[in-house]
Chains A and B, each alone.
Chain A
Amino acid sequence: MTAAALIRTGAPQGAHPFERFLLAAGTWAGLPAALTADPSLAFLGMWAEPGMVHAAFLEEGANAVLLASAPAESGRYAALSPARPGAIRFERMIRDLWALTAEGAVDLRPWLDHGRWGLEGPLSGRPAAILGGEPPQPEFLPAEGEGIHQIPVGPIHAGVIEPGHFRFHVQGELVVRLEQRFGYTHKGTLSLMLGKPARAAAAFAARLSGDSTVAHGWAFAAAAEAALGVAVPPRAVALRAVMGELERIHNHLNDWGFVCNDAAFAYPHARCGWLREGVLRACAAAFGHRLMMDRVLPGGIAPDIAPGGAEAILAALEAVERETPALMRIYESHASLQDRVVGTGFLDPVLAARFAAGGFVGRGSARRFDARRTPGYAPYDAMVPALAVEAGGDVDARVRVRVAELGTSISLVRRLLMTLPEGETLVPLPAQAGEGSALIEGFRGECLAWLRLDEGGLIRAVFLRDPSWLQWPLLEAAIEGNIVADFPICNKSFNCSYSGVDL
């Protein structure tokens, strides 16, 4: 029996639009073997609630999301990490937040919990207080060999970026092993969402990762709407996509500039920064907020696009479109820049596929996946975006995917604004029970949101999964064998979110 078929033997739980199947603990225990035998079922993420573990998968052939759950009897469940390495960090996180242990796990060191919260298992329903004492020192995986030394970096980094610790094992100039240690920005986001109505909790989805505020806000809103059976007004659907594409454009511009800057090539950085500033100002004119935070709400969007907003957006995008080809020629024709980006930070397509890496990280390593196309959602069903794929797997390939996506996003925004439906943009939500999930393509990759509401319409259980969960471990792989000095440029070419995975 395939892994997908095994999951479907469970009891359907009435979740929308992707069904969730409740398995007996014994059936779940058969999952790792079934997954090993069937590599086509991609692992998307894992989370829990008190006494219960959940996992999300993507059927690559059928392009459907499949959710599976099992009771964690006496706090234990069978680990999926032996079959899907992407599950390792989720299992560590589940132990830290819900105090459930994955049996047979590849790695059970703490992840988010640094021993500084004053309690253990904050989401377990009965967190245990821990009193004082020195927080434990982290343990890192060893590397052995002649002349190997360690370089610790962070949590505070040299640039204006989020905090996290990188432990390099280095031989001469070459990185032998990189290990990440995160959790520094853990804010207890999920705990703050529990017990709130979807509208009130949307502010937390919008702040899971500020650079993806539209995408996560949209995923969360769509999950809540699916749970409640609410249809979003067509105008709101179109404006969500406008904001989503603008978010993709401003982030792609930012990172393209910064990749060049990390190679000490200032001109593209200056120009990308200027073009991006134009886009952000247009966003502020159209939606009243430069990053468009808190604009996507469960039930629609608010406020409606301002008068003159569409014109401001089109003018900013016109400037981007006009300059992109010239910037690309400069990017391509300078040997000093090409020397730094071509062949650097190679991510093997086999690994990208194994981790089901989303976004430009996956597409830069030949993975043909974009959630806007498959499983797909409105309004992209009516205007399917072109798939930008490169096979190179290096920094250059990731940059090229993003530059190609700039063009696609600009034409999408134009079409969306030209065909913008009239009507309201926000509908009220009923206070009732339901369960829903959504997969929305942010600039970084697919954002997954899942939630369950009780009879009063309050959140009983929720999880928000940033695409970075499956991309960060690949950065560890991609940097191996590169020189330490190339780490910043590799890191920037991935640009994973810290806050998004720290929760």
Chain B
Amino acid sequence: MLWPRLARALLGKPLTDPAPPVPQETVAALGERLAAAARTRLGRSLSIREVDSGSCNGCELEVTALQNVAYDLERFGLRFVASPKHADVLLVTGPACRNMTEAMQRALDCTPDPKWVVAVGDCAVDGGVFKGSYAVEGGVGAVLPVDLLIPGCPPSPEQLLEGLLALLEAEAAPAPK
């Protein structure tokens, strides 16, 4: 049952979409944040730890979709890891809920340097619709040092991919003089 299908899949074209274009201003801005030493340490692959700081789970759905065969995140050298201790990137979704503050800070402390913090979704950017609630600090930037913002509610997988590829390109580019 399964084997003929696997064989056919081996012979067929991949289902994967081509990579989206990467905005060069973002790459340049990120490059400036990255020390030369960090550039060599990170290289051309990134381990990502997703942290939900209180999202509605809409952002999680699109981050998950990044791993399906249409986007196939791993072909770029990007992969999700199970612990912040193994991560180069903290990908944070949701407003910074006060009940998550301590866990977020601990996740950041566990992540070895050099590291990126990416705020994903309108909530993570500035609190989104939850701004001003007694239960929310604001955007992720209110708790963690954010390097890259990817707005959207939720951002589409292409938008997520664009942002993550910008991180990779920033690392690949020569250090700004």
Contacts and interface: CB of A to CB of B under 8 A. Distances in A.
Interface of A: 112, 114, 116-119, 122, 127, 135, 155-156, 158-163, 183-189, 191-192, 203-204, 207-211, 213, 254, 267, 270, 273-274, 276-277, 280, 284, 290-291, 293, 326, 329-330, 333-334, 497-499, 502
Contacts of A290: 62, 156
B20 to A, nearest CB: 15
Contacts of A211: 57-58, 61
A484 to B, nearest CB: 16
A329 B2 CA distance: 9
B134 A160 contact: no
Interface in B64-122: 64-65, 67-70, 80, 82-84, 94-95, 97-103, 107
Contacts of B60: 160-162, 210
A499 B79 CA distance: 25
B59 interface: yes
Given A184-B99, A497-B57, 5 more contacts: A160-B60, A163-B53, A184-B100, A274-B68, A499-B57
Contacts of A184: 54, 97, 99-100, 103
Majority DSSP secondary structure for residues of A touching B: loop
Contacts of A112: 99
Contacts of B5: 267, 326, 330
B134 A267 contact: no
B154 A186 contact: no
B153 A293 contact: yes
A236 to B, nearest CB: 22
A250 to B, nearest CB: 9
Contacts of B135: 117, 122, 186-188
Contact of A210 (B61, B65, B99, B133): B61
A194 to B, nearest CB: 11
B35 interface: no
B69 A274 contact: yes
A267 B4 CA distance: 12
Contacts of B2: 267, 330, 334
Nearest to A258: B64
Nearest to B95: A187
21 contacts: A155-B100, A156-B51, A156-B84, A156-B103, A162-B52, A162-B60, A183-B99, A185-B54, A185-B55, A185-B97, A187-B95, A191-B133, A204-B129, A207-B56, A209-B57, A211-B58, A273-B67, A273-B68, A277-B65, A334-B2, A499-B57
